[in-house]
Copies of this chain bind each other. A is one copy, B any other.
């Protein structure tokens, strides 16, 4: 009999309601016996459930299942970790029609360097893309890719998934993405490209992406119209 994945099994039980707020998870000792595995493996599985925001471990007490797990799961589009490349750049739903508004190869000057953190003199691709769903322009992506790390970009690639290109053709690994979200007054290009209607503000998601050599290869601003995305976070104490 092949060993089952402890994490997946426990997650299934929590999401199906077998384990819930009224009880605690079985103790580590019991899980070790049930799954015929080591304490290390059981603790690793529980760690993942904690990251998911499903449970919380208390020293001396046990592992508690959080209330309203099912509902708050539904509330969020992407609770917990995002492990899908398409989902990363903007959002699954948005990837319907992509229009290239601008595609240039430029050299970083002082102003751009300050914003993107790329050194002055670096050649970069500056790409503006519009994300359209049902004839509404929901998002404007302004990408800055280091052309030394991401070479030979074309409009055709940009019209599809640049991340797919990086992964498949360049065989480069995306290691870490640091993101920051702000709300800002809409800029001229936001008014020009987005279906803002009456709104005069946009969400601005700034992303810095790093490869597994630690090098920053991307700076991106994604400008969203209001009411069309959520951003989630789980904080443990």
The interface of chain A, by Cβ under 8 A from chain B, is 21, 53, 55-56, 58, 61, 64-68, 71-72, 75-76, 79, 81-83, 88, 117, 173-185, 198-203, 208, 210, 212-216, 224, 226-227, 229-237
The 10 A-B residue pairs with the shortest CB-CB distance, nearest first, are A201-B201, A64-B214, A183-B226, A181-B231, A56-B175, A179-B233, A68-B117, A177-B235, A67-B216, A66-B214
18 more CB-based (< 8 A) A-B contacts, given A56-B214, A76-B178, A176-B234: A56-B176, A58-B212, A64-B213, A64-B214, A67-B117, A68-B208, A72-B208, A75-B180, A81-B235, A174-B237, A176-B235, A176-B237, A178-B233, A180-B231, A181-B231, A183-B202, A231-B231, A231-B233
A179 touches B224 (CB 8 A): no
Of the residues B61, B65, B72, B210, contact of A66 by C-beta under 8 Å: B210
Given contacts A64-B213, A212-B58, A235-B81, contact A227 B176 (CB under 8 A): no
